[in-house]
Amino acid sequence: GQQLNQSPQSMFIQEGEDVSMNCTSSSIFNTWLWYKQDPGEGPVLLIALYKAGELTSNGRLTAQFGITRKDSFLNISASIPSDVGIYFCAGQYGNKLVFGAGTILRVKS
Amino acid sequence: GAVVSQHPSWVICKSGTSVKIECRSLDFQATTMFWYRQFPKQSLMLMATSNEGSKATYEQGVEKDKFLINHASLTLSTLTVTSAHPEDSSFYICSADLRDRGDTQYFGPGTRLTVL
């Protein structure tokens, strides 16, 4: 089946630092999405990428859809304490999603 | 826009009983809804795809007779866990896709099921 490799698995950074995480796959996806999940809640959509090479920003978040359609990265600039949580990438094929294993982000204030 | 709700947010039941979880799209119509299961410290795993007015499509390894899905309207899908056992304890999350936004899925807040 299709699998996404998401890295890093976890990060512990200083408030104000920039954060970067990425996902790679052996399969091509039509859409890449980045979600954030807080404990005990459902994932919240952060950024959706629909075209290869697309670079999209949402406030302090920036994500790119790799040109090969097999990878994507998410950057968070100037992290703040409320950025803590689990970040998931997801690749879409047809109308289905396959998720990465998640990146746990912890921020030291 | 694109708000999805779930009810209940948590439920505790005895082994052998059945539990129904509702998923509603509040401000849009969703032709397709999805049900996921998430075990602690793990990612989301798709259980089934639910289309309004037709039978759900289950992923490999998911028992359709144990996890009954009904999608009676464009805003409501239900998941019933029948004869629940402790190993069914998990976080169940639904999503609905917004066709006008490239089938982007929006997720509900999840339902924590604990089977004693």
Asked if A44 lies within 8 A of B107 by C-beta distance, the reply is: yes
How far apart are the C-alpha atoms of A21 and A23, rounded to whole Å? Answer: 7
Closest CB from A41, A48, A97 relative to B109? A41
How far apart are the C-alpha atoms of B21 and A4, rounded to whole Å? Answer: 29
Q: Which of A5-9, A92-96, A98-102 has the lowest mean pLDDT?
A: A92-96
How far apart are the C-alpha atoms of B86 and B8, rounded to whole Å? Answer: 18
Q: Quote the pLDDT of residue B30.
A: 85
Q: Quote the pLDDT of residue B29.
A: 86
In chain B, what residues touch A40 (CB-CB under 8 Å)? Answer: 91, 110, 112
Which residue shows structure tokens 């899905």? B69
Q: Going residue by residue through chain B (116 aa), what tens digit of pLDDT does each one get?
A: 689 999 999 999 999 999 999 999 998 888 899 999 999 989 999 999 998 888 899 999 999 999 999 988 889 999 999 999 999 999 999 999 876 666 788 999 999 999 99
Closest CB from A35, A95, A98 relative to B97? A95
- Using CA coordinates, name the residue in chain A closest to B112: A40
Sheet holding A61-65, edge to edge: A4-7, A19-25, A71-76, A61-65, A55-58
Q: Quote the pLDDT of residue A89.
A: 97
Per-residue pLDDT of A5-61, as tens digits, reads 999 999 999 999 999 999 999 999 989 999 999 999 999 999 999 999 999 999 999
**Which runs of E-coded beta strand occur in A26-99?**
31-37, 44-49, 55-58, 61-65, 71-76, 85-93, 96-99
Q: Quote the pLDDT of residue A83.
A: 95
Provide the number of CB pairs (under 8 Å) joining chain A to chain B: 52
Nearest to B110 by CA among B48, B23, B25, B49: B23
Q: Quote the pLDDT of residue B81.
A: 98
* Mean pLDDT calculated for residue range A79-101: 93
Contact A5, A26 (CB under 8 A): no
Q: Quote the pLDDT of residue B19.
A: 98
Angle at A50 between CA A45 and CA A55, to 5 degrees: 85
Closest CB from A31, A33, A99 relative to B43? A99
**Closest approach of B98 to chain A, Cα-based (Å):** 10
Nearest to B19 by CA among B94, B93, B80: B80
How far apart are the C-alpha atoms of B4 and B107, rounded to whole Å? Answer: 6
- Using CA coordinates, name the residue in chain A closest to B43: A101
Confidence at A1, pLDDT banded by 50, 70, 90: low
- Using CA coordinates, name the residue in chain A closest to B108: A42
Contact A88, A34 (CB under 8 A): yes
